[in-house]
Structure 1
Amino acid sequence: MEAQQRTETNVEQPMTENEDRTVSEATQDHVVKKAAFQTPKSVEAEQKIHADPWDTDAWVTLFMEAQNQPIELARPVYQLFLSQFPTAGRYWKLYIEHEWRQGSEQAVEDAFQKALLICHHIDLWKTYTDYIKSKKTRAEATEAYEFALKHLGLDIQANNLWADYIEFLKEWEPRNVQEENAKRDQLRSAYQRAVQTPMYNLDNFWKEYENFENSLNKTLAKGLLAEYQSLYSAARAEFRARRNRREGLLLNVLACPPSPKAEEQVRLWRKYIDGEKSNPHKLEAEELHKRVVAAYEQAILCLYRYPDLWLEIYFYHVQRKDWESAKEYLYRGIQACPDRPILYLCLADVEESLKNFSMVESLYEELLKLSPSCLVYIEYMYFLRRTRGIEASRKLFMRARKEISDYHLYVAAAELEYYRNKNLDAALNIFELGLKCFPQVLDFALEYISFLWMLGDETNLQALLERLLLDYPAEESAVIWDKYCQFAQQFFGLEKRREIEMRRMEALGGGERFLLESALSYYSFRDLTSWTSSDMMYVGDVWTNNRSSQPFIESKPKTSSNTSKRSRTVVDKKTEATNAPLSSSGSLLESLQTLMNMFPCTSDVAIPDVNYVLNLILCTPESLNVQDQKSRGEKRKNMSSSDGNKVPGTSLLPSQRWNGEGKVEDEEGREESASAYNESADSQRLPSRDIFRIRQAQRQAKSSS
């Protein structure tokens, strides 16, 4: 069949005509023309579609209303629907069947030619083989079946297609021995391919194949069946695994642009495709490739409007160095997502690698008509510099200046002049031109500053900073002042640096806090600092917040920041825990629970002093002083339970330890008695009658024992 041959040719070769690569105007603009017929449901559906061009329920309602109309009235609705949802195989089938019933063979063949290229849907392709079988010769029908099985034979739902093909071969009535042998060979080939295809009703195909071989020659059948038994068993296992991976997938949903509603389906498709790629059945490379491509084609039916899916398919073929297939999928992706520049840019790279420079220029020009963005001009400018030289890229820059207003264009052009053309003067001229065009765009000013900084052009950089400080009001110049201070730190001496810092402080304020931050920044390098997080406890969050908002201060390692945050968190929790019993001041149990939560149950943390515990339980003012001492980070050493010599009710300073003989020994080995230490420690605490009485009672109990 001529239509079938045209279809197969187009499938094997990438589309190159502009009209094949772009979506129809109605689809691009989401314009729904008024239908030639009107019913209450169709009118309501049209109104909903005007409000939301991706209202799938309204589209389906309109389509089904067209099913009840004459084909002349229904055809425009069908075409509009299928331009919006070109991978809707079920609806292609309904449309074609409507044309078929009306005897419009040319319309049917034209529809097949459009649909089969982009819609690998079993029902649609089965309708295609049914049509060819009913209208064309047996040879053409055989070609149609083979064509369909080539593209969809690996689908687990292809069992009906295989069954129809085998039944079609069985119905052939040979007229001579040669045709009889041909029929036998074709049936054997069909059965042998079917029984090793993972699909539904695989067991039935195996039984039919056994009967087929045994009916011809039981001796020969024994060897053939033994050979294909293992392939059949592997196909059964693969079918079960593939069916499980496809569980939850909705195969007949209409393909819409990405939305949160479809996240679950996207996840399931990703799971299914990744499962195919993992090659759990240890297939040969070529067989694995066929299954991965088939999985991608099935995903396209539902995720047709997802540009990242097309990009993944493209890079999958790039990895295999299959440039023609990669290019074909990019063209199809552009047809599906014509407003996504990244697809055009990838395609331009492919065409450039194939030396199709004129095609690349056509792609860029087409993209600029659809999306005249700064990024497209920049990529186009780089391409022209690579392939046609300096003048071509400069001409495009001058053209782009007239069509768009974006400072990125000037930055890109200046860097192209400096890095590629080795022309510093041209780069500086472009930056100056950009400064005139964007006098109040701070980001461009910062780009210019960074460029001069990279050059180490001290004179021009200082002049630029002074100019910018005059151009920007004080409330917007903080970032520029910060850059100026950082510049002074690296390029000037101490006196000049302090002069600029004072000027900034006069312009923006900040006082001693700014000078402190400036000093901390100055006395550091990369991740090397002259201070630690614990040194910044007084400045605290104010210093952290100010640092994050000031680019002239070098960022410090994440670990240091995290440590500081963790330290503050611990202090805050302890402070909160300490204040809780004071505010409630009534419940002894609450105070004890607070104490238990305050001290972690680890072996390396010393037991709190008994006096501090008693003060806290009794909620006396003295506990505040003791807690303040504890929160300053005093730690005790050599307090592990393995010592076994700790005297209850005593506290050691950080520089002291027990020597095992009942005496306290400092770091230099000097000894002092425990009683002297207790007296010294007691003398440091504020007097309290309650605590004094308790302590006296404890000492009396000890002496009596």
Structure 2
Amino acid sequence: MAAGPVWMEYIAFLKSLPALNAQEESQRMTAIRKAYQTAIVTPCHHIEQLWKEYENFENSVSRQLAKGLVSEYQPKYNSARAVYRERKKYVDEIDWNMLAEEMQWMAWKRLLAFEKGNPQRIDAASANKRIEFTYEQCLMYLYHYPDIWYDYATWHAKSGSTDAAIKVFQRALKALPESELLRYAYLELEESRGATPEAKQVYESLFTDGTRNTSLAQIQYIRFLRRTEGVEAARKYFLDARKSPNCTYHVYVAYAMIAFCLDKEPKMAHNVFEAGLKRFMNEPAYILEYADFLSRLNDDKNIRALFERALSSLPAEGSVEVWKRFVEFEQTYGDLASMLKVEQRRKEALSGTTEDEASALEGSLQDIVSRYRFMDLWPCSSQELDHLSRQEWLTRNFNKKSDKLAVSNGAGLMGIV
């Protein structure tokens, strides 16, 4: 769009060229006409001035010829001028001297969307060149914005230029080597085109270049191997991954569910969960995942055994969610006696927690609500539920105030003594 002054200088240069004979003069006039005709259909600065100069030029050569040429180019000029005015609105929002910030990011996104609409109605190849040029300009300012790199690569891929998309991703990873999002996006592209060796190299770079989340990378690599190379490849990598000191319980859960859901091997999945339990008995989230798996197997005996094993080793403050799930399990699958027994054990176990669960766990209608609700079906009206919640909040805060008052009075008495 800034090419207007360049066109004007170029045309002035052509006009200044000497013509020693009629043939050279004819060639000079043809070159000037061609330059004007290209400039006036280009949405650029000074387009209106260029049009006026073009009209004067044609009239100075031949009024009769000028009438036909001007009529032919008038609609093209009008279209280019309209596009110029519309494009200028987006370009004017961009501060070319400002460092990258959110408002500039939004301005560039709007300009890119405008260009993708092909406002000039030019052929696909030319339109793509314009869009590519705009992306390259944008990256000069938003070089460290991963979403711009991603948009650029994705646009290339959707346009059928997979090789160009790969090159953009490779540039992006040099610009932002710590961006895991861009690596995973690049991996998707390589895998989608069947380039398994290339995708494996990118996965391996996640581990060699360092990643903030090793377990996530391990899980995604296991899934990738399962998709592309089969059961044995995934299993072999899991056996290696679990030896890593950075391996967390998430890897065990992920592989167990692959074995269960994809490989249809519930025994293998069970063995994986059991192996993980030796390392992650003190991880409440792992216990709950294991319990969910056993629920899918309808293995109520082992679910109870799991809860008992976990609660015997978990500290009180870390057992809240496990107790909650144990109670929910008994409320759903147990008889009334087992339900009440587990609820009472939970109250006793959590009565001394730092969160002071005692007040909330005292017998109340909330217990009945908990036992007899199902999904979004409640054994009471919304007004009753609000009232019970309000009572629980008041009781908890009253107990806290009472504790503070007791401490205060004790300190006073000690002062008197």
TM-score range normalised by the length of the shorter chain: 0.7 to 0.9
Match for 2:323 among 481, 504, 515?
481
Quote how far apart the aligned CAs of 1:340 are: 0.8
| Equivalent position of 1:539 in the other structure | 388
| Equivalent position of 1:386 in the other structure | 227
- For residue 477 of structure 1, what is the amino acid of its counterpart? S
Quote how far apart the aligned CAs of 1:209 are: 3.4
Quote how far apart the aligned CAs of 1:481 are: 0.9
- Does the CA-based 8 Å contact 1:523-1:530 persist in structure 2? yes
| Equivalent position of 2:375 in the other structure | 526
- State TM-score, norm by structure 1: 0.49
Q: SS of the counterpart of 1:529?
A: coil
Give the Cα separation in 2 of the matches to 1:222 and 1:252: 44
- Does the CA-based 8 Å contact 1:341-1:376 persist in structure 2? no
Match for 1:349 among 178, 188, 192?
188
**Higher mean C-alpha deviation, range 526-535 or range 159-168:** 159-168
| Equivalent position of 2:50 in the other structure | 205
Quote how far apart the aligned CAs of 1:455 are: 2.9
- Does the CA-based 8 Å contact 2:80-2:120 persist in structure 1? no
Q: SS of the counterpart of 2:242?
A: helix
1:395-430 CA distance string (max 9 Å, x none): 322333344232222221111211222222222222
Change over 3 Å in CA distance of 1:514–1:394 after alignment to 2: farther
Runs of 5+ unmatched residues, structure 2: 352-357, 396-417
Change over 3 Å in CA distance of 1:276–1:544 after alignment to 2: farther
Change over 3 Å in CA distance of 1:392–1:161 after alignment to 2: farther
Give the Cα separation in 2 of the matches to 1:175 and 1:453: 96
Change over 3 Å in CA distance of 1:173–1:428 after alignment to 2: farther
| Equivalent position of 1:462 in the other structure | 304
**Higher mean C-alpha deviation, range 357-366 or range 308-317:** 308-317
| Equivalent position of 2:141 in the other structure | 302
Change over 3 Å in CA distance of 1:540–1:501 after alignment to 2: closer
| Equivalent position of 2:197 in the other structure | 358
Give the Cα separation in 2 of the matches to 1:167 and 1:503: 94
Quote how far apart the aligned CAs of 1:534 are: 1.8
Quote how far apart the aligned CAs of 1:508 are: 2.2
1:540-587 CA distance string (max 9 Å, x none): 3354799xxxxxxxxxxxxxxxxxxxxxxxxxxxxxxxxxxxxxxxxx
Give the Cα separation in 2 of the matches to 1:179 and 1:542: 99
In terms of fraction of residues, the more helix-rich structure is 2
**Higher mean C-alpha deviation, range 475-484 or range 285-294:** 285-294
Give the Cα separation in 1 of the matches to 2:9 and 2:181: 43
Quote how far apart the aligned CAs of 1:270 are: 3.2
Q: SS of the counterpart of 1:345?
A: helix
Change over 3 Å in CA distance of 1:459–1:276 after alignment to 2: same
Quote how far apart the aligned CAs of 1:437 are: 2.1
Change over 3 Å in CA distance of 1:342–1:232 after alignment to 2: same
| Equivalent position of 1:666 in the other structure | none
Figure out how many residues of one structure are paired with residues of the other and give that number: 384
- Does the CA-based 8 Å contact 2:219-2:251 persist in structure 1? yes
Give the Cα separation in 2 of the matches to 1:514 and 1:195: 84
Change over 3 Å in CA distance of 1:472–1:172 after alignment to 2: farther
Instruction: Give yes or no for the alignment of 1:374 onto 2:215.
Output: yes
* Paired residues for 1:146-185 under 5 Å: 156-163=1-8, 166=11
1:342-368 CA distance string (max 9 Å, x none): 212222221222222111111112232
1:100-154 CA distance string (max 9 Å, x none): xxxxxxxxxxxxxxxxxxxxxxxxxxxxxxxxxxxxxxxxxxxxxxxxxxxxxxx
Instruction: Give yes or no for the alignment of 1:418 onto 2:260.
Output: yes
Quote how far apart the aligned CAs of 1:299 are: 2.1
Give the Cα separation in 2 of the matches to 1:375 and 1:184: 68
1:241-266 CA distance string (max 9 Å, x none): 222223342213455xxxxxx22322
1:44-69 CA distance string (max 9 Å, x none): xxxxxxxxxxxxxxxxxxxxxxxxxx
Give the Cα separation in 2 of the matches to 1:315 and 1:290: 15
- Does the CA-based 8 Å contact 2:43-2:83 persist in structure 1? yes
Give the Cα separation in 1 of the matches to 2:394 and 2:22: 92
Q: Which has the larger radius of gyration?
A: 1
Give the Cα separation in 2 of the matches to 1:537 and 1:207: 76
- Does the CA-based 8 Å contact 1:474-1:508 persist in structure 2? yes
| Equivalent position of 1:235 in the other structure | 80
Give the Cα separation in 2 of the matches to 1:437 and 1:344: 30
- Does the CA-based 8 Å contact 1:341-1:371 persist in structure 2? no
1:669-697 CA distance string (max 9 Å, x none): xxxxxxxxxxxxxxxxxxxxxxxxxxxxx
1:158-217 CA distance string (max 9 Å, x none): 334444655676677899999988776665444333212221121233244335545655
- For residue 228 of structure 1, what is the amino acid of its counterpart? Y
Quote how far apart the aligned CAs of 1:310 are: 1.7
Quote how far apart the aligned CAs of 1:458 are: 1.3
Higher RCO structure (Cα 8 Å, ≥6 apart)? 1
Match for 2:97 among 252, 276, 279?
252
| Equivalent position of 1:508 in the other structure | 350
Give the Cα separation in 2 of the matches to 1:376 and 1:175: 74
- State TM-score, norm by structure 2: 0.80
Quote how far apart the aligned CAs of 1:438 are: 2.2
Match for 2:290 among 424, 427, 448?
448
1:437-488 CA distance string (max 9 Å, x none): 2232222222222222233221221111111111102232121111001011
Change over 3 Å in CA distance of 1:327–1:170 after alignment to 2: farther
Q: CA RMSD in A?
A: 3.3
- Does the CA-based 8 Å contact 1:374-1:408 persist in structure 2? yes
Q: SS of the counterpart of 1:525?
A: coil
